[in-house]
Amino acid sequence: MKRFFHQLGSPKHFYRIAGRWIPWLGLACVLFLLAGLYQGLVVAPTDYQQGDSYRIMFVHVPAAWMSLFIYVVMAAAGAIGLIWHMKLAEVVAIASAPIGASFTFLALVTGSIWGKPMWGAWWVWDARLTSELILLFLYLGVIALHNAVEDKRTAARATSILAIVGVVNIPIIHYSVEWWNTLHQGPTVTKFDAPSIDMRMLIPLLLMAVAFKLFYATVLLMRARVEVLERERNTRWVRELVSQS
Amino acid sequence: MRATRKKRLYLVLLMVVGIGVAVGFALNAFNQNLMFFYSPSEVAAGKAPAAHAFRLGGLVTEGSVQRQANGLTVRFDVTDNAKTVTVEYTGILPDLFREGQGIVAHGQLRSDGVFVADEVLAKHDENYMPPEVAKALEEAHEEGKASMPPGKTTP
C-alpha cells in the first residue's frame, strides 16, 4: 500500500496508472449520469410549489457542491505542494482550477435560469450569490496567475498561495444563507436535521452528485497527465514514450 | 518532518488563520450591509432607512391580498409573525407569489407607514415534496388544529 502511494508520487508511474484509470472512471461517470438524469427527469415527482421548474436543481446543486469541493481540493493540494514540495500536488492543484471554474460558472448560470421564473429576477446581490461570484473570480485569478509566470515551479508556488488565501471564502459561501438573510433559500440536504426533501427527489440529486464527482476525477486525471508530460518533457521516460508512438 | 517543512507548515497555517480572523472582523463590521432585507420587526423598530429605498422581507399574511380596481395594484400584509407591514405594489407578481409565501419587496416607506414597492421577488423555502405529500401535511396540520383544546391557538 505504502509502495503504491510512493509510486503514485513519481510522475512516470502516475502517468501510467492514471492512464489505466481514466476509461473506468469515465464509464462510471456516464452510468451515474444516465441513472441520475433518468431518475431526476422521469421518476421524480413534480414539486408542490415549483412544479417541474425545480428539476434544474439536479444540475444546479451538484455543480455548486463541486465548485466548493474542487476549491478545497485545489487549496489543499497547493498547501501540500508548498510545504512538502511535492510536484504531483502542484500538478493536481493547477489541473483542478479550470474544472472548478467551469462548475462555478455552471452553478451561477443554472441558478440564474432558475431564479427568473421562481424569484422573478435573474440576479440579486445577496450574500450567497455574491460570494459564489467571488469564487468564480478566485478560480479565474488562479488560472491567470499560473499562466502569467513562465517557470512552472514558481507559478505553482504563487498560485498555491492565492488558492490558500481564497479558501476563507468557502465557509462564507456555505453559511451565507444562515448568517445573513438572503433571497437564496437555506440548505436542504447539508444540514444537521433530516433533509427536507422527498426521497424520490433526493436519490437523483445524490446520483448526480456522484456523477459530477466522477467527472471531476476523470477530467482531473486527464489534465494532470498532460501537465506531467509538459513538465517532464526533457526527461528520458517522456522521450522514450514519444519515440515509441 | 524536517525543520524547514515544519516551518512552512506553520507559515501556511498562520496565513489561513490570519486571513480568517481579518475577514471575520470585516464581515462582522459590515454585518448590517450584508443583510439582503429588513424584517417587519426591524421596520417597526425604526431600524430601516426612512429617507431612501430598502428591501423588506417576510411572509404574506393569509387572507390579506387585495386587488385594487385598476387590476394591477395589489395590497397585502407582510409579517414575520411579530410585526406586520402593509405593502402596495403595482405590477406583475412572480408565479410563486401567494398567501403564506415568503417574499422580498424593494421600495420605500410612505408617510402613512405603507411600504410602496417597485419590485416584488418570491423567496421559496428549502422544502421539496410532491403535491400529494404537501396536501397530506396540510390536512394533518388542520386536524391537529381542530383537535386542540379551546383557548390554545398556536400548535
Does a structural domain hold residue A214?
Answer: yes
Contact B92, B77 (CB under 8 A): no
A80/chain B closest Cα distance in angstroms = 9
**What is the residue type of A214?**
L
Query: pLDDT tens digit string along A184-203?
Result: 888 887 766 677 788 888 99
DSSP helix, strand, coil percent of chain B (3-state; round to 5): 35, 25, 40
The whole-model pTM stands at 0.88
**ipTM for the assembly:** 0.78
Does a structural domain hold residue A33?
Answer: yes
Does a structural domain hold residue A1?
Answer: no
- The position carrying cell 431600524 is B47
Chain A residues inside the 8 Å CB shell of B93: 120
Give the residue among A217, B60, A2, B36 at the shortest CA–CA distance from A209.
Answer: A217
Does a structural domain hold residue A3?
Answer: no
Indicate the average pLDDT of chain A. 91
Contact A126, A182 (CB under 8 A): yes
Parent domain of A29: 15-244
- Domain harbouring A213, CATH code: 1.20.120
Cα-based distances in Å from A182 to A79, A179, A186, B24, B27: 33, 9, 9, 19, 15
Q: What is the reported pLDDT for B22?
A: 92
Distance CA A63, CA A42 (A): 20
Contact A158, A149 (CB under 8 A): yes
Query: pLDDT tens digit string along A74-130?
Result: 999 999 999 988 889 999 999 999 999 999 999 999 999 999 888 888 999 989 999
Does a structural domain hold residue A6?
Answer: no
Contact A122, A112 (CB under 8 A): yes
Query: pLDDT tens digit string along B21-36?
Result: 999 998 888 877 778 8
Distance CA A153, CA B78 (A): 58
Does a structural domain hold residue A7?
Answer: no
Query: pLDDT tens digit string along A56-77?
Result: 999 999 999 999 999 999 999 9
The H-assigned helical ranges of chain B are 3-29, 31-34, 40-44, 131-146
Nearest by CB to B130, from A45, A164, A188: name it: A45
Choose between B33 and A165: higher pLDDT: A165
Interface touch A120/B126, C-beta < 8 Å = no
Low-confidence ranges of chain B (pLDDT < 50): 148-155
How many residues comprise chain B? 155
Chain B residues inside the 8 Å CB shell of A54: 128
Q: How many domains does chain A have?
A: 1
Does a structural domain hold residue A175?
Answer: yes
Candidates A122, A129, A183: best to mutate against B (most CBs of B within 10 A) is A183
Does a structural domain hold residue A123?
Answer: yes
Query: pLDDT tens digit string along B112-127?
Result: 888 999 989 988 877 8
B128/chain A closest Cα distance in angstroms = 5
